């Protein structure tokens, strides 16, 4: 059981700056995120796209913004729990008991949801029958590539993940690579490498096809792929891999008794608290009159939520507002003063 | 005073709207007057049309505002920009006439546009 002053759900820009604000005012915090890396939408959706509306930063990419936020947290010791999804939030006396998908649990008076549009989950194939084979013969990520040795693997997708795995697995397996159009969005060098392997017969390429059906008893045996012109081909397949990127799903947040408005959580604009005392929502996931889904709004919301946490985490102390330019307390916490 | 009255009476005339018809997977037709300059996605979200999620808010980063555009209209729309097809690769059941509705800007030219919403966005 981890005890902390505040638990932040979501390691995107808002979650990261909220952590900074909590540590600055002397509170502990830990961060949970379902992605395997820090940065949220910035790192997952637009790592290379420039952002032009961060105050005092004329231009930076999603990745640069993430790296700058991480380096702003350097003075502080913050524990990150990545590749974990928060499953349950339950009241326990004056605290919240929070449980994650990896079995970690936290006891904290404050939970700050900085969850963007929810947690990132892999996008799945359209045919319903696919569910039957999921995590047995059909995967959306590769954990152990050795299970594919000597087998027929059908890979779907047109990005780097699909191409990289087609190239890698073609060393030891028979590969079908299937994509919905002729153009690939992967790096040019990777596309060239794949085309070479197609020429040398190591990869069978099918473009303008999509998965139409899957067949087999316990194990997958074959798949149907359908061309844009409706022609159907049956391919023998032991395994199917789909790489269509990630999608955001609200997930378990919907079950925590919070007032929801579509996929957002209603908060007040003083503490960014939800209808549950001690649970706050900041960044894209929160909703109030005039809400803007901008990163800069998330920073403001996190700063206020952090102050609100102080009251519940230190009921016998009084929070005093201070500036980093002058306060020796803050400068000490930042490691700028002995 | 005259100006205030004039504004009150005449302004609405100058806001150009176009009729956009959203057809859900259950074949329900919703015809909405959408202000020129908004996107087809915004028209759907502001009017609570079911089936268009638009998780990323119009950044061409999520493919959850995916629609099918009837062939005759498909060719009348401005061509897809770089990146839209990359995102459509990730959409649920993309077809040759797939578009991201956040990339279709409403104007007089597309008055009467009909779009079909897929069974799911993801």
What's the 3-state SS for chain A?
CEECCEEEECCCHHHHHHHHHHHHCCCCEEEECCCCCCCHHHHHCCCCCEECCECCECCEEHHHHHHHHHHHCCCCCCEEECCCCEEEEEEECCEEEEEECCCCEEEECEEEECCECEEEEECCCCCCCHHHHECCCEECCCCCHHHHCCCEEEEECCCHHHHHHHHHHCCCCEEEEEECCCCCCCCHHHHHHHHHHHHCCCEEEEECEEEEEEEECCCEEEEEEEECCCCEEEEECCEEEECCCEEEECHHHHHCCCCEECCEEECCCCCCECCCCCEEECHHHEECCCCCCCHHHHHHHHHHHHHHHHHHHCCCCCCCCCCCCCCHHHHHHCCCCC
Domain B16-116 in CATH 3.40.50.300? The answer is no
| Chain position carrying tokens 């009348």 | B76
A245 vs B90: CB contact, 8 Å cut-off? yes
How do beta strands B113-116 and A239-242 pair? unpaired
Average pLDDT, chain B: 89
**Is the pLDDT confidence value at B79 over 60?**
yes
Residues of chain A contacting B, Cβ within 8 Å: 41, 45-46, 49, 117, 123-124, 126, 157-159, 179-181, 183, 185, 210, 228, 244-245, 247-249, 263, 284, 293
| Chain position carrying tokens 């799945």 | A124
Domain spans, chain A:
2-121+247-333, 124-244
| Chain position carrying tokens 């005012």 | A25
Mutate to test the interface with B, among A121, A123, A179 (most CBs of B within 10 A): A123
In order of A89, A133, A214, the CA distances from A218 in angstroms are 37, 8, 12
Fold matches, A2-121+247-333 and A124-244: yes
- Chain B nearest-CA distance from A110, in A, is 27
What are A225's two structure tokens? 């792929």
- Chain B nearest-CA distance from A56, in A, is 22
Domain spans, chain B:
16-116
Mutate to test the interface with A, among B45, B89, B93, B120 (most CBs of A within 10 A): B89
Per-residue pLDDT tens listing for chain A (338 residues): 999 999 999 999 999 999 999 999 999 999 999 999 999 999 988 888 899 999 999 999 999 999 999 999 999 999 999 999 999 999 999 999 999 999 999 999 999 999 998 888 899 999 999 999 999 999 999 989 999 999 999 999 999 999 999 999 999 999 999 999 999 998 999 999 999 999 999 999 999 999 999 999 889 999 999 999 999 999 999 999 999 988 888 889 989 999 998 889 999 999 999 999 999 999 999 999 999 999 999 999 999 999 999 999 999 999 999 999 999 999 999 999 88
What is the end-to-end Cα distance of chain B in Å, rounded? 54
> pLDDT tens-digit profile of B13-36?
567 899 999 999 999 999 999 999
For B61, nearest residue in chain A (alpha carbons): A45
- Chain A nearest-CA distance from B113, in A, is 24
Average confidence (pLDDT) over B73-93: 92
What are B17's two structure tokens? 């709207």
pLDDT at residue B15, as a whole number: 76
Total CB pairs under 8 A between chain A and B? 51
Domain A124-244 in CATH 3.40.50.300? The answer is no
pLDDT at residue A198, as a whole number: 97
Contact at 8 Å (CB) between A226 and A232? yes
What is the end-to-end Cα distance of chain A in Å, rounded? 33
A228 vs B95: CB contact, 8 Å cut-off? yes
Burial A207-219 (b: 16+ CB within 10 A, else e): ebbbbbebebeee
Q: What is the ipTM of this complex?
A: 0.78
- Closest residue to B89, CB basis, from A45, A158, A228: A158
Which 3 state secondary structure label does DSSP give B71? helix
- Total-model pTM: 0.77
Query: For B46, phi and psi rounded to 5 degrees?
Result: -65, -25
pLDDT at residue A246, as a whole number: 86
pLDDT at residue B56, as a whole number: 83
- Closest residue to A45, CB basis, from B62, B85, B93: B62
Q: Chain A partners of B94 at a C-beta cutoff of 8 Å?
A: 180, 210
Q: Chain B partners of A183 at a C-beta cutoff of 8 Å?
A: 85
Worst-scoring range by mean pLDDT, A130-134, B5-9, B44-48, B102-106? B5-9
pLDDT at residue A338, as a whole number: 81
Domain A2-121+247-333 in CATH 3.50.50.60? The answer is yes
Listed by number, the residues of chain B in 59-118 with a beta carbon closer than 8 Å to a beta carbon of chain A are 59, 61-62, 64, 85-86, 89-90, 92-96
What are A168's two structure tokens? 């890698």
């Amino acid at each position: 059981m981890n005890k902390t002053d505040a638990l932040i759900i979501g390691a995107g820009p808002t979650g990261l700056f909220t952590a900074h604000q909590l540590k600055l005012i002397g509170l502990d915090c830990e961060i949970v995120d379902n992605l395997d890396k820090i940065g949220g939408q910035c790192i997952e959706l637009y790592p290379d796209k420039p952002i032009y509306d961060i105050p005092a930063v004329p231009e930076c990419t999603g990745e640069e913004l993430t790296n700058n936020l991480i380096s702003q947290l350097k003075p502080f010791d913050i524990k990150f729990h990545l590749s974990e999804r928060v499953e349950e939030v339950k009241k326990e006396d004056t605290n919240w008991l929070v449980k994650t998908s990896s079995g970690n649990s936290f006891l904290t008076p404050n939970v700050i949801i900085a969850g963007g549009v929810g947690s990132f989950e892999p996008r799945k194939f359209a045919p319903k029958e696919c569910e039957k084979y999921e995590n047995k013969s059909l995967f959306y990520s590769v954990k152990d590539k050795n299970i594919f040795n000597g087998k027929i693997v059908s890979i779907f997708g047109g990005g780097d993940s699909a191409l990289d795995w087609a190239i890698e697995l073609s060393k030891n397996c028979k590969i079908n690579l299937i994509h919905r159009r002729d153009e690939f969005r992967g790096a040019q060098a990777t596309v060239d490498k794949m085309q070479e392997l197609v020429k040398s017969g190591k990869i069978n390429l099918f473009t303008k096809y999509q998965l139409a059906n899957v067949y087999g008893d316990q194990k997958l045996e074959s798949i149907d792929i359908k061309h844009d012109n409706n022609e159907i081909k049956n391919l023998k397949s032991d395994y199917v891999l789909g790489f269509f990127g990630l999608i955001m799903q609200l997930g378990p947040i919907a079950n925590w008794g919070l007032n929801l408005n579509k996929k957002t959580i209603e908060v007040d604009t003083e503490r960014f608290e939800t209808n549950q005392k001690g649970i706050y929502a900041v960044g894209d996931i929160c909703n109030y009159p005039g809400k803007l889904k901008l990163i800069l709004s998330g920073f403001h919301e996190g700063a206020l939520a952090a102050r609100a946490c102080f009251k519940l985490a230190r009921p016998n102390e009084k929070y005093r507002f201070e500036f980093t330019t002058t306060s020796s307390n803050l400068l000490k916490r930042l490691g700028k003063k002995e | 005073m005259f100006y205030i009255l004039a504004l009150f009476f005449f302004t609405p005339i100058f806001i150009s709207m176009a009729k956009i018809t959203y057809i859900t997977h259950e074949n329900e037709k919703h015809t909405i007057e959408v202000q020129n300059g908004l996107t087809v996605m915004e028209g759907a979200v502001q009017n609570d049309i079911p089936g268009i999620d638009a998780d990323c808010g119009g950044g061409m980063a999520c493919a959850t505002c995916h629609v099918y555009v009837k062939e005759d209209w498909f060719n009348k729309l401005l061509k897809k920009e770089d990146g839209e097809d990359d995102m459509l690769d990730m959409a649920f059941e993309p077809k040759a006439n797939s578009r991201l509705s956040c990339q279709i800007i409403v104007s007089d030219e597309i008055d009467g546009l009909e779009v079909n919403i897929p069974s799911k966005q993801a």
